[in-house]
Amino acid sequence: MLFAVATVVALWLQTEVRLWLPAGALFPDLVLILAVDLGLKQHNALAPVLAFAMGYATDALSGTHLGLNAFMMTLIFLLSYELSRHVWVTGRIIGPLTVGFADLLRALGVIAIGGGIATVSHLKGPALRLVIIQALITAAVSPAVFLLLDAGKRALRLPLRVAAE
């Protein structure tokens, strides 16, 4: 429930705030941060379903290919999940780092699948710079989103982490 509400709020912010900001301004991908949090901390069978649903909801408000964001969000969840199984992820830096790489992966993945692999190889200076800056912004905002999510979990008396049995 917490993640469902957080996704709706994140999507609303992403679609509305970008409209108010000056042309070309970048805005962090909040839904992606939620998917990474799921992968790093929520190791139950419902978590991948939530990640898929987040991507599917994003598909309703972004892009032209249905399933593209659902695919990328599920993939990012799985990568974060596998990372958290094999790497010590309680440090504060691993979350933003994962988010940064995940944002880069998602952006390049969406461009490659949506427009063909050749589109990525033709990405030139300014466009590539924007993709990297977007990833850095999302990574920079992620600690605050993680803190908000943890506060929400505490308020609802949910465990901060759900480990696989």
Partner 1 sequence: MQDPKDTFLWRNRVALAGGVLLLLAAHMLSSGVRQGDTLARPQGLVSEALRPFQAASSRMGHSAGDLFHHYFMLASVARENQHLKEEVGQLNQRQARMVELELENHRLAELLDLKEAIDLKVVAADVIASDATGIARTMVLSQGSGSGLLPGMGVIATGGVVGKLISSSPTASRLMLLNDHNCAIDAFVQRSRSRGIVSGVADDGVIMKYVERTEDIKVGDPVVTSGLDGVFPRGLLIGSVFAIERKGPGLFLNISIKPAADLRKLEQVLVIVQTPPHLADSGAS
Q: Which of residues 46 and 154 has its CB atom nearest to partner 1 in the complex?
A: 46
Please, which of residues 46-105 interact with partner 1 by CB under 8 A?
47-49, 51-52, 55-71, 74-75, 77-78, 81-82
User: Least distance from C-beta 147 to partner 1, angstroms?
Assistant: 23
Give the count of beta carbons closer than 10 Å to the beta carbon of residue 50: 21
23 makes contact with partner 1 (CB under 8 A): yes
Q: Residues 5, 90, 115, 144: which binds partner 1 (CB under 8 A)?
A: 115
User: Least distance from C-beta 98 to partner 1, angstroms?
Assistant: 16
Q: Residues 6, 35, 107, 139: which binds partner 1 (CB under 8 A)?
A: 107
124 makes contact with partner 1 (CB under 8 A): yes
User: Least distance from C-beta 20 to partner 1, angstroms?
Assistant: 5
